Amino acid sequence: MNNAYMPFLSQIQKVIRHTDIEYTFRMHYVGEVKPGQFFEVSVPKYGEAPISVSGIGDDYVDLTIRKVGKVTNEIFENQEGKSLFMRGPYGNGFLPENYRGKELVVVAGGTGVSPVKGIIDYFGNHPEEVKSLTVIAGFKSPKDVLFKEDIKRWEDQKMNLTITVDAAEEPGWNVGLVTKYIPDITFENKENAAVIVVGPPVMMKFAVAEFKKLDIEDRQIWISQERKMCCGLGKCGHCRMGDTYICLDGPVFNYTEGKKLLD
């Protein structure tokens, strides 16, 4: 009988440094993975941390990690060629079939870009599968912008891309919260719109409110509660919100259910 808590060893193929405290670790992995799912990454004697998938390849997954505590501090001591323990993937993820043929809008803030990056990459590479793709990604400042190389690639793809920062001393940046740019979105047919919103709870709350002003219905909106993860198996209770276990029932929710889970 398999032990669900037993991790496997995965080699680090590449380390991509975004900021002083945010790196992407490209981990060897062969298997089915969905954008928005997560893995548990562990270091013996230090513990484990849930990390969202930020990229998917034929033989790897990208895990973008912020250095914020004991486990992640130790993960950052590992470089290319070293190995980490992982288990997963867990959760339901963002399913491309929910958005095919739609006017898709993705709004994300800070590290919330990580779980949606896979879906942006997918439709950026397959623009014929959506009616249109609009991406609004917000960061605190220019030095906090993640995925700079990916953003350059997105700029050359068929999408409406807005990168915004809360504040910037240098010119050339869109300044303001992501909510500032939502009212400018136009839809050919609002009934055919689909919206993904991921970020801090307050950001999601007010971003969804802006879409509601545009007459976008709850059933057309998806959110992720990825920050609530812990054991990944619904055993520890850390992610429980009411009767819902985020790691088992989510972390991706249609807003008809997700609105009941916002902090």
The CA R_g of the chain, rounded to the nearest whole Å, is 18
User: Which residue is associated with the tokens 């809360």?
Assistant: 166
Q: Is 230 annotated as a binding residue?
A: no
**Residue 239 counted as an annotated binding residue:** yes
Q: Tell me whether residue 247 is annotated as binding.
A: yes
The CA-atom distances, in angstroms, between 40 and each of 52, 105, 195, 226 are 9, 29, 27, 12
Phi, psi of 248 (to 5 degrees): -95, -40
Q: Which residues are annotated as a binding site?
A: 231, 236, 239, 247
Q: Which residues are annotated as a binding site for [2Fe-2S] cluster?
A: 231, 236, 239, 247
